[in-house]
Amino acid sequence: MERQPIIDIKNLRKSYEGKEVLKGIDLQVYEGQIIGYIGPNGAGKSTTVKILLGIVEGYEGEIKIFGKDISEDPIQYKKKIGYIPETAEIYDSLTAYEYLAFIGEVYGMELKIVNERAKKLMEIFGIQEVYHSRIASFSKGMKQKVLIIASLIHDPDILFLDEPLSGLDANSVIIFKEILAALALQGKTIFYSSHIMEIVEKISSRIILLNDGRIVADGSFEELKKQSVEGSLEEIFNQLTGFHQHKEIAKAFVDVLQEGR
């Protein structure tokens, strides 16, 4: 039997106030893949992810997740996906327990199970002592850990991540990378959007490079190296996005600071 994509995007277009920001995205993602979704600022990465999450509407094209058009059944598929946003837009006045209990309820989980799982996961991340403290008092990394727990507590089949490592220390980053690899081995699908090329290069089984609303490269890191330059993902990124003015821009910036000295 032919393998069915878990995410199937056909000719996705999106405009804001007459300006087209997604110009026909075609992408089939398969179970167990770790997709590194990269591109310059404004390329359309967040817009794509928000459309997939059902947060942004009013697009053209067809999106199927778990084999079903998301516009036909916008509720059901969300129970099987998780999302880790970059910034902790998290209810500061709640305790970690209250926040995670609330999230569990949204996913239709029993409080007892949410509580047991949340406690164990907090302990594994080394933040169990603040389980009943207000999130407002947490450090950036602690908040991010709560967001990671919240996004995974219902054991989703697809995980969307938007710069998920912000605020995590070096050891936590390594643990989190291992968690992603273990989840992918279990057949979970991961859609990872980030600007940190060293990490995308290491964790992704497939890299999608978006530039000005279009996919301009699609393949494993090894494949991308063969198609463009030998080198790091950062160098491939620079070449495929046609950007080479790093030095000139940095010099112009510093020159302005020195004007009139």
Ligand X SMILES: Nc1ncnc2c1ncn2[C@@H]1O[C@H](COP(=O)(O)OP(=O)(O)OP(=O)(O)O)[C@@H](O)[C@H]1O
Residue 2 CA to residue 213 CA, distance in Å, equals 29
User: DSSP H helical segments within the chain, as ranges?
Assistant: 45-53, 96-106, 111-124, 140-152, 170-185, 197-203, 221-227, 233-240, 246-258
117 is a contact residue toward ligand X (CB under 6 A): no
From 44-52, 111-119, 148-156, 236-244, give the range in contact with ligand X by CB under 6 A.
Answer: 44-52
From 35-43, 95-103, 137-145, 166-174, give the range in contact with ligand X by CB under 6 A.
Answer: 35-43
Conformational region of residue 61, where left means phi above 0, alpha means psi within -120 to 50, and beta covers everything else: left
Compare residues 45 and 117 and give the one whose CB is closer to ligand X. Answer: 45
Compare residues 16 and 102 and give the one whose CB is closer to ligand X. Answer: 16
Residue 74 CA to residue 38 CA, distance in Å, equals 26
- Give the nearest distance from C-beta 41 to ligand X in angstroms: 3
Residue 163 CA to residue 4 CA, distance in Å, equals 28
21 is a contact residue toward ligand X (CB under 6 A): yes
243 is a contact residue toward ligand X (CB under 6 A): no
74 is a contact residue toward ligand X (CB under 6 A): no
- Give the nearest distance from C-beta 119 to ligand X in angstroms: 34
**Rounded alpha-carbon distances, angstroms, from residue 103 to 87, 243, 250:** 17, 42, 44
46 is a contact residue toward ligand X (CB under 6 A): yes
Do residues 131 and 98 touch, judged by C-beta distance below 8 A?
no
β partners of residue 201: none
Compare residues 22 and 130 and give the one whose CB is closer to ligand X. Answer: 22
Compare residues 31 and 218 and give the one whose CB is closer to ligand X. Answer: 218
Compare residues 39 and 82 and give the one whose CB is closer to ligand X. Answer: 39
Conformational region of residue 250, where left means phi above 0, alpha means psi within -120 to 50, and beta covers everything else: alpha
β partners of residue 190: 34, 159
Compare residues 33 and 193 and give the one whose CB is closer to ligand X. Answer: 193
Q: Give the interface with ligand X as residue ranges (CB under 6 A).
A: 16, 21, 39, 41-47
